[in-house]
Amino acid sequence: MDEAGRGPLAGSVFTAAVILGDDHGIEGLADSKVLTPGRREQLSEAIKQRALAWSIASATVAEIDEHNILKATMLAMRRAVEALPVLPAEALIDGNRVPTGLPCAARAIVRGDALEPAISAASILAKVARDAELVALDASYPGYGFAVHKGYPTPAHLAALAELGPCVAHRRSFAPVRAQVEARQINLW
C-alpha cells in the first residue's frame, strides 16, 4: 500500500493496495514521484490489467479536517485493504506506520515505494487517481490551478488562495487555508 496527497492544501488523500504475482511482467515500476505523468498513466493501466488484485480508496477533505491528515491517511489505507477482492497474507506499507484495524498482518517499509514492486504499483495507482481528482476540481473551481499544481502549496496556488479565498476543496485544517478563512472571517463548511 501507498498514499498520494498528504501534503497538498486541497483534495482528498488517496491510497491504493496492490497484490502482484511473482510473474507480473510489469516493466518500469518505481516510486510514482520519479515517473512522468504519461508513464504513470501507462503503468496504471498495466497494473490494473496484470495485478492479482488492486483497489483505490480515499479520505475526503472533511475527514482530513475532522481527524488530521495522518489519521485520514490510515483510514484510507484500511479502506483500500478492505476493498481488495482477495485478502493479502501481509500488507506492506510505504513509510514508518501501520494503520490499526487491518484485517491482515502488516509491516511498514521506509522507502518501500522504491524497494517493493507492489508498493511501487500502489504508489502509481494512488497518484494517478489523486491527479484525476485534482483535474476534475480544476474544472469545478477554476482559477486555483489545481490541474497544474495538484493542490500543493506552490507560489501560484498560494497567490490564488490569497486572491480568491478558499473553496470547499481546500483543507481548512491546513495552516495556509485556515489563515485565509480566519482573515476573511468566512465559514465555507
Q: Which amino acid is at 111?
A: R
Which segments of 31-162 are extended strands (E)? 53-59, 90-94, 105-109
C-alpha cell at 136: 476534475
- The 3-state DSSP class for residue 185 equals coil
Annotated binding site for a divalent metal cation, which residues?
2-3, 94
d(CA 35, CA 55): 21
Within 8 A by CB and 6+ apart from 107, the residues are 90, 91, 92, 93, 98
Annotated binding site, which residues?
2-3, 94
